Structure 1
Amino acid sequence: MIRHLTRAAFFSLALCSVAHAEDTFLGMDVIDAKPANEVWIDSGFYSYHFDRNANLNGDNYGLGAEYRFSDVSAVTVGRFYNSDRQYSNYAGVYYQPLAIGPVKLGAVVGGFNGYPKMKDGGWFLAAIPVATVEWKRVGLNVAFVPTLKDRLYGAISFQLKVKVWD
């Protein structure tokens, strides 16, 4: 399982690094990785689950932070009340080298915990496709969380954020 996620993450990063040789990749713009110095405060998530009959919690309130150190990369940490009605923590790295208009595309790779059917609630590695839109001091992260058999429920998750430092 972790092996498949790791392969997907490395494949995605390899494709993105190949894209840096061009100005576009598959019709998407390649973002020039300029240094940045921004701090964002993130909300929890609103999750629209694919399995609508599983009685899952979609209001995943919480608090997090992002430090954007380049136009394409950021580190993130946070805590939220997850879909299984347990507390989860996360720490990861965003890498979003592609864009369609104002929407940055890439993945967040990191560790998560708190899901009882995934490693008995312990930490696990995940690579999650994510799109981000930012307007001056307000932004939105949209993540596609894949379904992992009966261990993790798939969803599209929305996370609001506010820039507090630049």
Structure 2
Amino acid sequence: MNERASEAKPLRRRMLLMLFGIAAVVLLVDQITKFFAVRFLEGQPPVPVIGTLAGFDFYRNPGAALGMGAGITWIFPLIAIAVFIAIIVLARKLGSRAWAIGLGLLLGGLFGNLADRLFQPPGFLRGAVVDFIDLSLFICNVADIAISAAAVTLVVTSLRGIDLDGSDSKHSRTIREDTHD
């Protein structure tokens, strides 16, 4: 076994632990905050925190972002499962801390909202997502924030030229171009 392959296994293991650890923390925080939102905010008037800019307001969202797709809630769990499978496939090549963080945030957020689709009223595969963080323009939850942070992390990482395996795609492309001259 060469030296590079022997170094890659522990690195990949650390990256996988980071990915799944972040996902677990996001899922846990999301579900705990939703539990408290249902317990203390449901049926109550909005609670302003920063005037009208931000606060807490309970809402059961039957759709996706901004309530779109309320009539086809069964499709959202299928999308989440497909993304989960894609992350598992991608994780086999994982060697970048930034990619591990982004994919972990995405996975935790997906599972947070998937749990609502499976276990919240009105029932299995039709459950409404618990939203309670009122940001004036929209109401969201911890899972939504994690998904948004994942999108930003993955876009910035890609724009910086960092590949999933941790290599620098801009640097690799320059080397390939130089060798073909």
TM-score bin, normalised by smaller chain: 0.3 to 0.5
Highest RCO, 1 vs 2 (Cα 8 Å, sep ≥ 6)? 2
Name the structure with the higher helix share: 2
TM-score after normalising by structure 2: 0.31
Question: TM-score, normalised on structure 1?
Answer: 0.33
Q: Which has the higher strand share?
A: 1
